[in-house]
Structure 1
Amino acid sequence: MTARILDGKAFAAKLRAQVADAVVGLTKRGRPAPGLAVVLVGDDAASQVYVRNKVKATEGAGMRSIEHRLPADTTQDALLQLVASLNDDPTVDGILVQLPLPRHLDSAPVIAAISPAKDVDGLTIENVGRLAAGLPGLVPCTPLGCMLLLDAALGDLAGKRALVIGRSALVGRPIAQLLTQANATVTVAHSKTRDLAGEARRAEILVAAIGQADFVRGDWIAPGATVIDVGINRIVENGTARLVGDVAYDEALPVAGAITPVPGGVGPMTIACLLANTVVAAHRRHGDVAPRWSLKED
């Protein structure tokens, strides 16, 4: 048996197409195209690439992209003032402050300053709390992308045994909450978990989000399990750098039922879900019913 490859690029393209259709639907009703404001502070090379990709994807979906590129010596007060102005701007539906910020800036008050209705990263305390309480809100993009991939691969998750390896506030915890809401039976594993390999072997769904290259070995995976690899780790072998996930992919491939590759799995879904969240925020701002996304085969 060879696992089905969950092609994140293809699924992300399908989601972006749905987003673009939703944008057209908004404009046909006389609504303005949704606007996504991205704030980049400093000249971090990786962040510049991420922002460039987000801007391209936003415009490709027919939405307005608003860029704010600030110098590395921007003060905390200046950044907070910009966020406040974006909160008050009626043409802006979503606000994303690209992380990490320069060291002299504290990201916590910046995130807290974003209006929860425009928090398309799903990081404000209100949106985190709404997710924990099972209430409607804006969900963090990477966990949302993982859930859409699982829905496409498996459909109904009710009763399935799921293991999330990693308990970060950005990925592990939100994914565990979303899986619980989908009626899966969820275990969250971490550095203190006893017999982690044994826990993994019992899982029908395994989500790896621990940030360690090739941490999950092939013999940890139950035959036929669906594996979502959130990790992106840069390693150097024989002088050549490449990206790998948290799962030993070549070992997992003949065992798993379905698996996301790295790169090209969860990563592309994250930006597509950012666009989706912006469209949802725009619908809610106008009092419209927000669209529901599905990547299942027609």
Structure 2
Amino acid sequence: MSHGGFVIRLFFKRGSWPNLRAFVYLVLALLIMFSDHYSLRFQKFHDKLSIIVLPIQMLVDAPIKTVHWLAITISTQKDLLAENAELKAQALFLKSQLQKLLALEKENKNLRQLLESKPYIGGKTVVAQLLAVDLDPTLQQVILDKGRRDKVYVGQPVLDPYGIMGQIIQVGFLTSKMLMITDTHSAVPVEDYRTNMRAIAVGSGQIDQLFLINVPNTSDVQVGDLFVSSGLGLRFPIGYPVGVVTQVEKPTGVGFAKIILKPTAHLNRTQQVLLMWPEQAALKPDVMQQLQNGKVGAIHESPKHRGNS
């Protein structure tokens, strides 16, 4: 025994036969692997050993699995947050596109209505956009996006698909100012569509009211009558709607009736309007000249008539 122990100690002594030690280790490892694979005793031992080692493996694997799970969870949460943010951005973009489409659809509808009204008015027309509304409650004025560059002129009529809105009172190079028919400074020659009775519609200062002035108490005017532009004055197109009678009062002892119209134009809702160049406007210089000549002739003839009488 002492001789064998000496041999083993000599074999494992540091620095002695290193190549032989490696060879012995290799042979032992192969024998153990062979016995573990083919020997039932070693398999039973291996099974018992695996039961003992399993808790240690689970204990070692637990932190690794936890770290891996946390990494996947964090990565998934980041992906979900990024995807959620992207979906929210897409939803907002689609909503904005939908609003734009709705606005375009409304604008196209207004344009179709404007173009459908064109055959009834005659003359050249141009679509204009409302830019601003005068905030002064005593004024009924708006700014349009057409000006001198577009041949806009003072006194030019402005319409919407439902009626006369007003006339241009000031012109800049790119924009112009429109006076609504409801402004107290506005007056439109009109006639009753039912009876052809002529009158003047003036603004009341309120967005939904017009007054007819100098209408005799005996006139045949009824609630619901439509008044259209008469074309007198050669400013507004002939026969375009102005207002509908909503109230008629004929007080006793007064020579004129109180008649209120509601404008047919959508004065507080329209965004696009028609600027028009009426065909009869070209006749205005000749008509004014003839009126002037008539006045001059009357002045010259009046002394002769007095002398003859």
TM-score tier (shorter): under 0.3
TM-score where L is the length of structure 1: 0.27
Larger relative contact order, structure 1 or 2 (CA cutoff 8 Å, min sep 6): 1
Higher helix share: 2
Structure with greater Cα Rg: 2
Higher strand share: 2
